[in-house]
Each structure stands twice: as C-alpha cells, then as structure tokens.
A and B are shown apart, each in its own frame.
Chain A
C-alpha cells in the first residue's frame, strides 16, 4: 500500500513571503518516485518535479526548491519570494515500483498569495 499525506489544506501568504508545503509518504517499496504538480485555477495539472528514491539531493529551480528526506519520508516544497501567479493547488504524488503505473496523490494544498 502507498499513501501520501499533505497535512496543510490551505495556506495564505502575502506576496514575497516564502511558503513551504509539506508532503509525507508511505510505501513498502525501496524503489519509488515522488512528484509535485501544480494546478492553477484553469484546472490543468502542471508537472513540476520528479525525484526517484535513490536521489536524495535537494533541488532548486528558480524560486522553487525541494527537500527530500528519506529518513522522515518527506518531500517538501518551498516557494521563495511568492508571487500572485503561484496561487494554485499543489499536489504531491508517489509511485512505488511495485504499483504498476499507479500514482497515489495527496489531497492537495491550496496556496493563496495576496498582493
């Protein structure tokens, strides 16, 4: 069984603040993949990042950064200096190697950035 928990339902920040989204996962697989997607108000899920379980290096892409810690089964996402365009629902997802293409999604965190 695999499971993803995004404990934060909604986060509201003022522009230029940093915001961190938590993602905790459970899987019995030793090989697995973690993903983050962004869903703006238009509805389309936009792929942000994929990480495999053997690569614990943190990653930075512009204002986005990800912190992967296997010891705590967490894959957290930080937006630095948030902007109004970052307002969206963000989903964390997990695919265990034994799970035949199946992605398990967290419930999502709604981020609202106020001007």
Chain B
C-alpha cells in the first residue's frame, strides 16, 4: 500500500522561529514534493526533488528551503516563520516518469502566531 507520512498533523509556532516539516515515503519513489494549500487557491507547489540532494523551485519558493539527504525523506524548512506562512502543508511523492500519479500525505496544519 502507498504510504506517505508527515511528522505532525498540527503545529503552532511563533513568528521568527525556524520550522521543520518532515515527510517520509516508503514506496521507493524518486520524486517528492511540497505544496501549500490555502482556501480558494488550491494547491501550490513550493519545491520538489527528483533525486537525493536534488531540488527544484516550484511556484512559491520564497521563504522556504528544502533538504533531501535520503531518498525516502524530504524536509521543508521555514527559516524564519511569518504569519503569512500559516497554511496547510502537503507532501507528495511519485515515481520518476511523466504522468506518474502523486500520492499525498495527511498534511500538516501550521499556525504561525
């Protein structure tokens, strides 16, 4: 069975804190993705990675960084959290080829105060 897990379902952080969101997949997928979801905007891609230590910017990378040291793990980092980063964050993974289905984790609801 396809499985993508995220380290936290809910997080509350203060402005200026460094925040780590972790995602793990057990399907040996090459590609991993981080999205944020906001009402009325659908899902927007922050970063993706197609291999270990490789990363590409998505549509809204500003204020975020990522790390992929192992194939199964992809971390999203908010260097200095701000209130406009309050959102739902979704991780996904897929095999390395065109059109492959992305499978999603349960999401992390982040509140930045």
> Which A residues lie within 8 Å of B43 (CB)?
45, 91, 93, 103, 105
CB distance from B24 to the nearest CB of A (A): 15
A4 (CB) vs chain B CBs: closest residue: B42
> Which B residues lie within 8 Å of A108 (CB)?
42
> Which B residues lie within 8 Å of A52 (CB)?
99
Q: Is the interface on chain B under 10, 10 to 19, 20 to 34, or 35 or more residues?
A: 20 to 34
* A-B pairs with beta carbons under 8 A, tally: 58
- Interface segment among B62-70, B74-82, B103-111: the answer is B103-111
Within 36-80 of B, Cβ neighbours of A (below 8 Å) are at: 40-45, 48, 50, 56, 58
B103 (CB) vs chain A CBs: closest residue: A47
B: residues with CB less than 8 A from A are 9, 31, 33, 40-45, 48, 50, 56, 58, 88, 90, 92, 94, 98-99, 101-107, 109
